[in-house]
């Protein structure tokens, strides 16, 4: 994964440190639409939705002025369904280069031209869902042809050389045996990969959670192999501590001490603040303080370990140490996918 340039790293760290102290969110996830092109088995967002109350691109500027996060996720639903997504991104990005913008998307509507346009508008990282390293991805996502589209566009985008695409593999009982094969696919396509964990909270379905000792042992073996393949590089973008915490989440059936609402929050498509995408208590833009008092300080929910949590549940020193040494450009750049680091799993 491309290292963040030094000047930008310093701006992100300065803004992040300030937000940590004054209890503003480090990361804001804008769900820019509830509609989606897919019907994923693990998600409650599938299919068309009423989009008439979606915020306009210019509304996002006001949210940025109040919340001032250093990292923004642009997500959904499927954000690429919005024809004005480039304008949304332009309104989120400030002249200083902040925030660091991550577009979280299934890429069904992505083209090489649109990728370049979104980069120019200010997207720093493209996070693309991949559940299986073959056509089972289409079946899981309810969208025929999606995997083929990904396998055609990924090498073309990778060849442009920006090194800003990260596959996101959400680990479920259905795909736990495939995590290293998904890494093989990332290496073949010339992109990076990140792992996150299934939460039953979205749909109420426990079948995709790792419920058996057998499934947990498969995960342990798979993660061990992934850690060997990381080998000091960052093409697998998780930290080792995050992979360990993912295993612990599945083993104990939850992850306590969630800081949703405080360290990060969600802005819904119609402009409400929510603690996270799976807690539907809604607040207005200027009510983050009330959300922290009412929700975060009393929150006992431990039902997910999604990426945003896995990065922000850490102590501030750990967060700084891991990000400074593993993502930002204070250290030697990684030998991306060199040597044996991306050797196929089997």
Ligand X SMILES: C[S@@+](CC[C@H](N)C(=O)[O-])C[C@H]1O[C@@H](n2cnc3c(N)ncnc32)[C@H](O)[C@@H]1O
**Interface contacts to ligand SF4, rule CB under 6 A:** 36, 38, 40, 43, 45-46, 76-78, 106, 141, 201, 258, 260, 275-276, 278-279, 299, 301-304, 309
Binding mask 234-263 for ligand X (x = CB under 6 A): ------------------------------
Shortest distance in whole angstroms from residue 251 CB to ligand SF4: 16
The Cα–Cα gap between 4 and 12 comes to 10
- Could you tell which of ligand X, ligand SF4, none binds residue 8, using a CB distance below 5 to 8 A set by kind? none
Joined together, the tokens standing for residue 215 give 């499934």
Shortest distance in whole angstroms from residue 297 CB to ligand SF4: 12
Binding mask 307-346 for ligand X (x = CB under 6 A): ----------------------------------------
Of the listed pieces 185-193, 198-206, 311-319, 332-340, which binds ligand X according to CB under 6 A? 198-206
Sole binder of ligand X in the list 168, 239, 279, 296 (CB under 6 A):
168
Q: Would you count residue 202 as binding ligand X (CB under 6 A)?
A: yes
Peptide bond just before 77 cis, omega within 30 deg: yes
| Number of amino acids touching ligand X (CB under 6 A) | 18
Q: Would you count residue 104 as binding ligand X (CB under 6 A)?
A: yes
Q: Would you count residue 42 as binding ligand X (CB under 6 A)?
A: yes
Contact 345, 184 (CB under 8 A): yes
Q: Would you count residue 36 as binding ligand X (CB under 6 A)?
A: yes
Cβ count near 147 (within 10 Å): 22
Of the listed pieces 184-192, 197-205, 252-260, 295-303, which binds ligand X according to CB under 6 A? 197-205
Residue with tokens 């998780």: 238
The DSSP letter of residue 142 is: T
Residue 192's φ and ψ, nearest 5 degrees, are: -95, 175
The DSSP letter of residue 164 is: -
Q: Three-state secondary structure along 296-307?
A: HHHCCCCCCCCH
Of the listed pieces 73-81, 111-119, 258-266, 321-329, which binds ligand X according to CB under 6 A? 73-81
Of the listed pieces 102-110, 225-233, 257-265, 312-320, which binds ligand X according to CB under 6 A? 102-110
* Closest among 294, 145, 225, 94 to 283, alpha carbons compared: 294
Strand order through the sheet with 264-267: 192-197, 165-171, 123-129, 100-105, 71-75, 27-31, 264-267, 273-274
Cβ count near 243 (within 10 Å): 20
- Could you tell which of ligand X, ligand SF4, none binds residue 202, using a CB distance below 5 to 8 A set by kind? ligand X
Contact 69, 25 (CB under 8 A): yes
Sole binder of ligand X in the list 33, 54, 129, 194 (CB under 6 A):
129
Q: Would you count residue 170 as binding ligand X (CB under 6 A)?
A: yes
Q: Would you count residue 45 as binding ligand X (CB under 6 A)?
A: yes
108's CB contacts (< 8 A; 6+ apart) are 37, 38, 78, 80, 143, 146, 149
Measured from the CB atom, the residue of 36 and 187 that comes closer to ligand SF4 is 36
Measured from the CB atom, the residue of 8 and 302 that comes closer to ligand SF4 is 302
Sole binder of ligand X in the list 292, 306, 308, 312 (CB under 6 A):
306
- Could you tell which of ligand SF4, ligand X, none binds residue 29, using a CB distance below 5 to 8 A set by kind? none
- Could you tell which of ligand SF4, ligand X, none binds residue 85, using a CB distance below 5 to 8 A set by kind? none
* Closest among 190, 153, 184, 149 to 169, alpha carbons compared: 184
The Cα–Cα gap between 106 and 108 comes to 6
């Amino acid at each position: 994964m491309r290292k963040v340039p030094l000047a930008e790293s310093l701006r992100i760290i300065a803004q992040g440190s300030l937000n940590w102290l004054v209890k503003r969110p480090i990361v804001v996830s804008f769900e820019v639409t509830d509609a989606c092109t897919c019907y994923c088995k693990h998600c409650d967002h599938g299919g068309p939705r009423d989009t008439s109350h979606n915020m306009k691109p210019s509304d996002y500027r006001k949210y940025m002025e109040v919340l001032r996060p250093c990292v923004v996720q642009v997500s959904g639903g499927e954000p690429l369904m919005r024809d004005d997504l480039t304008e949304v991104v332009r309104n989120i990005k400030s002249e200083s280069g902040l925030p660091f913008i991550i577009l979280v998307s299934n890429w069904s509507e992505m083209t090489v031209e649109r990728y370049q346009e979104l980069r120019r508008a200010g997207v720093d990282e493209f996070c693309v869902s991949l559940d299986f390293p073959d056509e089972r991805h289409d079946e899981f996502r309810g969208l025929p042809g999606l995997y083929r589209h990904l396998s055609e566009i990924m090498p073309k985008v990778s060849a442009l050389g920006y090194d800003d695409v990260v596959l996101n593999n959400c680990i479920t009982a259905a795909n736990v045996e495939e995590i290293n094969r998904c890494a093989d696919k990332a290496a073949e396509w010339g992109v990076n990969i990140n792992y996150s964990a299934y939460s039953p909270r979205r749909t109420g379905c426990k079948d995709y959670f790792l419920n058996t000792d057998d499934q947990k042992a498969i995960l342990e073996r798979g993660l061990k192999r992934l850690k060997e393949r990381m080998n000091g590089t960052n093409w697998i973008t998780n930290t080792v501590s995050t992979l360990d915490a993912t295993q612990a989440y599945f083993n104990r059936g939850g992850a306590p001490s969630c800081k949703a609402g405080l360290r990060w929050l969600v802005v819904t498509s119609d402009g409400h603040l929510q603690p996270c995408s799976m807690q539907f208590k809604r607040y207005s833009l200027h009510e983050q303080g009330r959300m922290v008092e009412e929700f975060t300080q009393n929150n006992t929910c431990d039902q997910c370990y999604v990426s945003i949590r896995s990065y922000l549940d850490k102590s501030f020193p750990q967060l700084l140490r891991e990000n400074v040494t593993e993502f930002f450009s204070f250290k030697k750049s990684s030998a991306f996918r060199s040597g044996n680091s991306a050797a196929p799993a089997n």
